[in-house]
Structure 1
Amino acid sequence: MTEPSGGSTDKPRRPVAVPAIALVAITVVGITALLGGLNEAPEEPETLGPGAVLDQGRYTTKFVESRVTVERADSDFAEDKRFLELVFDVTNTSDETSGVGNPPAKIELAYQAADFAGSLVKISPAFPEDAGPFSFVRVKGGESRQLHPGVTRQVIVRYTLKEGQQPPDKITLDVGAFEYSEDPVAAVPHWGLESKEAGKGFLPEIKARVVLPVKKGDTT
């Protein structure tokens, strides 16, 4: 008997080899798609150091230094006080006088800030509540709590160091920026910290991460 032309249809097929690198690529793309796409990873904020200048919308800020200072006792019955200070040169670029403010107690409350120190939305390492912060503007003849338009002032954000407490080697600041917008309820233009919705609240946009080595000097 003559076999049909074309040969038998039951002949097993040879397996097709897929390079391992292709399998890895397919797996990575699949996982990336599952997690929401290639462009969904949050961007890391710009990292700055001492002497850097940042445009914060309402303010232009120079991050001068972090240091330990000692306030000597004025009598034999008092004790010396030590502080960790964050030092800034701040220019109010708006048309309105503002307060110096204070860093927020929690990052979830930062969106309410309108004054300079409120933009320091996270300070690491964190200090205990009874350590401060105490913020002020250094002016000729004393201290102030105001930043006037167009004037550069030195701003100090101070934390108290307890007896025997060693200061950290560095301070890291997550810093936000301000935008001028209308209040959605009262329709009154105002300065507020740039924020985004997060769950039932808002979180500030981090404009820069600033790392300041702590100048310890005389810490005794």
Structure 2
Amino acid sequence: MTEPSGASSNKPRRPVVVPAFALVAFTAVGITAMLGGLREAPDEPDPLGQGAVLDQGLYSTKFVESRVTVERATSVVDEDKRFVELVFDVTNKGDETAQVGLPAQKIEQAFAMTSFASSLVKITPAFDKEAGPFAFARAKGGETRQLQPDMASQVIVRFRLKPGEQPPAKISMDVASFELEAGANDNVPRWQMVAQEVGDKWIPEIKARVTLNVKKGDAA
């Protein structure tokens, strides 16, 4: 008698062998698809050190040094104050007066700012809120918070040390840049920090990562 068509056979089926590398590749493709496709890894920012000059678009900046300084007490009821200072030579390349400003408390807040210090989007190690930062430029008449066009100014960004606190050996800064962008409403070019939209936030792109050794001298 002939076996009906489509009937199952009693012979055991041979297992299909799938190479391990194929399983790994299939899994990787599946995970990549689930995460939304291949994404290029972001480029590492340029590593810079003392004396380097960076074109930030709106500013040309030389990273002079990092040091510990002391402001001596002026009376018996006062006390000496010790600071870690970041020293820059900054030229405002714009056509209008710019502000020295302060580093933003959060990186996503920096995008809306155009001051020089706002471009220091991350400073490592982080200091306590009570430490500052404080920032100013040196001028012939004393200290100023403004940077005039086409004029080089020495800018100081400082953090106060607690009594007995030791300064860090090094300080690193993630530094952003600026570009001229046409306004959405009037099409007038304005300086704006270079950033990428991440979710509902604008995160500055890091132009360079600068590391400075902290000079202690006799002030530590």
- Verify same fold: TM over 0.5: yes
Deviation at 1:66, TM superposition (A): 0.9
Alpha-carbon distance, 1:198 to partner:
0.9
Counterpart of 2:182 in structure 1 is 182
Report the TM-score, using the length of structure 2 for normalisation.
Answer: 0.83
Normalised TM-score (structure 1): 0.83
Cα distance per residue 1:91-132 (max 9 Å; x no partner): 111111111111111101010111111100111111111211
Q: How many residues are aligned here? A: 212
Answer yes or no: is the 8 Å Cα contact 1:195–1:202 preserved in 2: yes
User: 2:116 aligns to what?
Assistant: 116
Secondary structure in structure 2 of the residue aligned to 1:84? strand
The root-mean-square deviation of aligned C-alpha atoms, in Å, is 2.5
Matched residue type, 2:169:
D
**Where in structure 2 are the equivalents of 1:2-17 lying within 5 Å?**
none
Unpaired runs of 5+ in structure 2? Answer: 1-16
**CA–CA distance in structure 2, aligned partners of residues 181 and 42 of structure 1:** 23
Secondary structure, aligned partner of 1:73: coil
Q: Distance in 2 between matches of 1:25 and 1:61?
A: 47
Are the aligned partners of 1:70 and 1:218 in contact in 2 as well (CA < 8 Å)?
no
Q: Which residue of 2 aligns with 1:193?
A: 193
Could you give the per-residue CA deviations for residues 15-68 of structure 1, whole angstroms, max 9, x where no partner exists?
xx9998898788777766776666611111111111111000001100111111
Instruction: Report the equivalent of 1:89.
Output: 89
Deviations 1:149-186 (A, max 9, x none): 11111100011111111111111100000111123245
Q: Describe the shift of the 1:196–1:177 C-alpha distance in structure 2 as closer, same or farther (beyond 3 A).
A: same
For residues 46-65 of structure 1, what are the structure 2 equivalents within 5 Å?
46-65=46-65
Amino acid at match of 1:201: K
Identity level (%): 63
C-alpha separation in 2, matches of 1:46 and 1:27: 35
Tell me, yes or no, if the aligned pair for 1:89 and 1:152 is still in contact at 8 Å.
yes
Which amino acid counterpart does residue 128 of structure 2 have in structure 1?
P
